Structure 1
C-alpha cells in the first residue's frame, strides 16, 4: 500500500519517458537517463500498475480475515505476535476500494484525451472538449481532474446542475487520492479550485468577463 501511495505522489510523465513506459504497464524496462526534467508535465501512466497492486493487496486482506476467523473458530483467538495481527489492514478507497484494475491501454487513451482537451484550447477553443472529457472519464473513472475540467466547461455554458455533479465527483476522487494526477499544480490547488467551482455551481452563477473570472476565490 505504501508503494501505491508513493507512486501516486511522485510519478508523472517524466518517469514514463525515463523508463520507456509506452505501454502503460510501468515495468521499468527503459534506460533513458538523458531525459530532460521535467518533460511536458503530462499525467503519468502509473495507474494500471498500482491498480494491480491494489488487487493483490485486497486478496492479502481477505486471506488474513479468513485466517483469523478460522483460528477463532478453532478456539485460538489469541494474536500471533509474529504475524502482527494487531495491525489493521486498511483498504484504500481508490479503484473502488481496490476491487478494479484499470486497463493499461484504456489508461493511455484517457490520459491522451484529457491532455488534448486541456492543452489544445488556445488553438481550437472548447469545441469537442466535452465529449473528449466524457470519454476520458469513461475510460478512466478513477481520477478527479477530468471531472473538474468538465465542471468548468459546464459552468461557462450555464449548465449549473451538471457542473455541480461533476465538481462533486472530482472533489471526492481527489480527496480519496490525497495527491494530484495532473501534477502541473498542487493537490491543494486542485482542491481549492474545485471548491470554487462547486460554490459557483450551487450559486447558479459564473463570471461573464475576464476580470470577474480572475477574481474567483474562496475569500468573500
Structure 2
C-alpha cells in the first residue's frame, strides 16, 4: 500500500497533536494536584478543611528587603551609604517631587536594586542628581570641584561616581532619541550603535558610548518612576520664580510616563548588562494614548466612586488593566469590589495579579500610598479572600472567638499579627 508524503505527515501531526494535548492535560492535573496538596498542608496545620485557594506569589527577597529597609541585602554597603546620605541635612530639608530628597534617592536605589542592576547603576541611582541634572537645578556635590567628586567617589565608588557625573552634566535628550520619546514625537526610539557627541555643562561636549547612554537612561527610568505624580514639587513649583501655576501637592493623580519608560527600555535593551524583568523584559511598549485612557479611567473610579454604578467601576478598571498591563493598583481596586459582592474567587485572583505586578515593577503607580502599603493591602486582600472561600468564620486568623479574653468590648475578635504574617507565608507557592 502506498502512502503519499502529505498523508504520512498529516498522520504524524495528528499523533503529535494528540500527544501534546494529552501532555498538557497531564500537566494541568499535576498543577491542580500540587496546588491542592499545598493548600491541604496549610489547612491541616491549622486543623481546618480547605475548599479552594489562590496561592500567594513568593515575595522576592529584594522586595522584602525594600519593605524592611534591609539595604545591606540590596548592596553590601547599602546601610552605610544610605546612613551617610541621610546625615546630610540637605537631603531631609529639600522637599522633592512627592517626598523628601532622601526618600526619593533611596527609592530610586531600591528600584534599581530590585531590577538586579549592576553595582555602578544602582549606586548611581542612590544619588543620581548629586551633581544636579539637565532638568534639575539643585545639587549636593559640586561637579566642578575635584574635592567634591572625590567625596562622592569615597561614598559610592569610582564607577558609580563617574555615572553620576555624566548623568548630572550632559544633555540626555540626544541619547537614544530620549527627548523625542518623552515629547511624543517618536513612538519607538532608537539608540546609536556608535559613540555620539553630546552637550556637556562645563566641558562643552563629550563622547558617550551606547552602553553609557543605556546606563544613564536606565537610571532615568527608575528616577521618574519613583516620583511620577501629576503635580511635582521641584518641577512645578521650586524652579519657577513666580511659584508656578499649580497648588502643591495637587490631588496625587499619576503622571504619564509608562509610554516612554517602556519604549526607552526597549531601545536600550541591547546595550544593558542586565535586562530588568519590567515591561516584559523591555519588550512590550504601550502608547501614550492607551496610557492616558487607562490612567483617566482609573482616576474616574477613585474620584467618582460614590456616583458610579458597580458595573461601571468594574468596566473602567478592567479597561485600565487592558491598556496599562504593568500596574497593580487597578487589580487591587477590583479585588475590593469583588470581595464586597461576595465573589471571593475573583477577589483573590485580582489580589494575586496585583501582587505579581507590584513585585515586578518594584514601585507603585498611585503614589497616594507608599509601595509598602500597596503590597501590604494586596496581601491582606488575598488572605481574606482565600479564608472566605475556605468557609472560615473570620477572614482574619483570630485567636479564639469563644474566649472572652480575646474579644474586646466592641465584640472585635483579637488577631495576632505575627500569626497573620505566618499564615500568608505558609500560603506562598513558588512559580505562581
Answer yes or no: same fold by TM over 0.5. Answer: yes
Cα distance, 1:125 vs structure 2: 5.2
Q: Rate the CA distance shift 1:34–1:118 in 2: closer, same or farther, 3 A.
A: closer
Q: Rate the CA distance shift 1:96–1:218 in 2: closer, same or farther, 3 A.
A: farther
**Counterpart contact for 2:326–2:361, Cα < 8 Å:** no
Cα distance, 1:217 vs structure 2: 9.9
Q: Structure 2: how far apart are the matches of 1:55 and 1:199?
A: 36
Cα distance, 1:160 vs structure 2: 1.3
**Match in the other structure for 2:262:** 51
Cα distance, 1:142 vs structure 2: 0.9
Count of aligned positions: 177
Cα distance, 1:33 vs structure 2: 3.2
1:9 and 2:244 correspond? no
State which of 31, 37, 42 in structure 1 corresponds to 2:248: 37
**Match in the other structure for 1:115:** 299
Cα distance, 1:126 vs structure 2: 3.0
Cα distance, 1:124 vs structure 2: 3.5
Q: Rate the CA distance shift 1:96–1:216 in 2: closer, same or farther, 3 A.
A: farther
Q: Which structure has the larger Rg?
A: 2
Q: Rate the CA distance shift 1:194–1:216 in 2: closer, same or farther, 3 A.
A: farther
1:52-201 aligned within 5 A: 52-61=263-272, 89-124=273-308, 126-201=310-385
Q: Structure 2: how far apart are the matches of 1:2 and 1:148?
A: 28
Q: Rate the CA distance shift 1:159–1:217 in 2: closer, same or farther, 3 A.
A: farther
Q: Structure 2: how far apart are the matches of 1:103 and 1:59?
A: 21
TM-score (norm 2): 0.38
Moved over 4 A (4+): 215-220
SS in structure 2 at match of 1:128:
helix
Q: Structure 1: how far apart are the matches of 2:292 and 2:318?
A: 15
Cα distance, 1:93 vs structure 2: 1.5
Q: Rate the CA distance shift 1:218–1:139 in 2: closer, same or farther, 3 A.
A: farther
Q: Structure 2: how far apart are the matches of 1:218 and 1:117?
A: 31
Q: Structure 1: how far apart are the matches of 2:299 and 2:257?
A: 16
Q: Structure 2: how far apart are the matches of 1:106 and 1:41?
A: 20
TM-score (norm 1): 0.72
Q: Structure 1: how far apart are the matches of 2:330 and 2:308?
A: 19
Deviations 1:16-37 (A, max 9, x none): xx67xxxxxxxxxxxx933221
**Counterpart contact for 1:14–1:38, Cα < 8 Å:** yes
Q: Structure 2: how far apart are the matches of 1:100 and 1:144?
A: 17
Q: Structure 1: how far apart are the matches of 2:382 and 2:317?
A: 18
Deviations 1:49-80 (A, max 9, x none): 1111111121324xxxxxxxxxxxxxxxxxxx
**Counterpart contact for 1:147–1:169, Cα < 8 Å:** yes
Cα distance, 1:111 vs structure 2: 0.3
Q: Which runs of 5+ in 1 are unaligned?
A: 20-31, 62-88
Q: Structure 1: how far apart are the matches of 2:276 and 2:254?
A: 21
Cα distance, 1:118 vs structure 2: 1.7
SS in structure 2 at match of 1:13:
coil
**Counterpart contact for 2:355–2:379, Cα < 8 Å:** yes
Q: Structure 2: how far apart are the matches of 1:92 and 1:160?
A: 33
Q: Structure 1: how far apart are the matches of 2:244 and 2:340?
A: 43
Cα distance, 1:45 vs structure 2: 0.4
